[in-house]
């Protein structure tokens, strides 16, 4: 009996030690923006906090899957935050876990993208943003621009901006002539922000409007975030 009690006490101490260590890592600045598909002790901390507050019903497994995504969105909705299912700066802070920016959306990932060379490229990207996302919120316009640049960087797509945009059947707006309409200043600003490194799509190479007819294949892609009417996926 004494042996069993000793084992239980030891396990409790170990679990407390792990929890303290994880919290210490967070406090030390080991933070990143979390979204669907992430794994790690920081995900476990978010799950544990949401679980203790009644938002998360699943197991604390350190996997940012559907249950965690839904719980984060519900927490955001109840606390007046942007409801996107992503645990970024404001959500970390609202959870009482602080924030040190080690994985925010605004990075230099697209800076100096091969194939983005001159004002003509900015014009071309702005036209695509206008054609595909002029009715979307500003962050959604930047995200569309980032998707195009992510394709330029990817070995799975053409390695120039023109090649990506004019790739056959890639964008309906090119086929139906919307791409030829003149962009406005907001579209140019979104294009420049994307070229300068802001990627609110978090590395996505696909986007679409779920309310419109799309290929069944596209739903096999991993959706990361939604802005306005567009979802963005890898």
Res 193 pLDDT > 50: yes
pLDDT for position 199: 93
Beta strands 223-227 and 230-233: pairing type?
Answer: antiparallel
Tell me the C-alpha distance between 108 and 199, whole Å: 9
Residue 17 has pLDDT above 50, yes or no: no
Residue closest to 202 by CA, chosen among 127, 104, 136, 117: 104
Lowest mean pLDDT among 9-18, 125-134, 144-153: 9-18
Strands 206-208 and 230-233 come out as: antiparallel
Q: Which residues contact 90 (CB under 8 A, 6 or more apart)?
A: 81, 82
Could you give the domains of the chain?
A: 2-94 (1.10.101.10), 119-233 (1.10.10.2520)
Q: Is the pLDDT of residue 135 over 90?
A: yes
Tens-place pLDDT, residues 78-123: 877 788 888 887 788 778 776 554 443 443 344 445 545 467 789 9
Q: What is the pLDDT of residue 31?
A: 67
pLDDT exceeds cutoff 70 at 216: yes
Helix (H, G, I), strand (E, B) or coil at 95: coil
CA angle in degrees (0–180, nearest 5) for 16-21-25: 150
């Amino acid at each position: 009996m004494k042996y069993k009690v000793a084992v239980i006490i030891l396990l409790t101490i170990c679990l407390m030690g792990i929890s303290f260590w994880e919290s210490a890592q967070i406090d030390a600045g080991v933070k990143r923006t979390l979204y669907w598909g992430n794994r790690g002790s920081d995900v476990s901390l978010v799950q544990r906090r949401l679980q203790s507050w009644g938002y998360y019903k699943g197991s604390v497994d350190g996997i940012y899957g559907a249950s965690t995504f839904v719980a984060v969105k519900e927490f955001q909705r109840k606390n007046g935050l942007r409801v996107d299912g992503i645990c970024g700066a404001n959500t970390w802070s609202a959870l009482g876990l602080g924030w040190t920016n080690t994985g925010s959306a605004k990075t230099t990932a697209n800076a100096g993208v091969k194939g983005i060379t001159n004002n003509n490229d900015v014009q071309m990207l702005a036209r695509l943003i206008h054609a595909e996302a002029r009715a979307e919120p500003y962050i959604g316009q930047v995200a569309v621009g980032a998707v195009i640049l992510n394709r330029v960087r990817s070995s799975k797509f053409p390695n120039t901006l023109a090649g990506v945009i004019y790739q056959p059947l890639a964008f309906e707006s090119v086929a139906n002539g919307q791409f030829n309409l003149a962009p406005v200043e907001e579209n140019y600003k979104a294009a420049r922000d994307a070229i300068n490194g802001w990627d609110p799509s978090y590395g996505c190479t696909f986007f679409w409007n779920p309310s419109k007819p799309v290929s069944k294949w596209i739903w096999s892609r991993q959706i990361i975030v939604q802005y306005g009417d567009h979802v963005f996926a890898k």
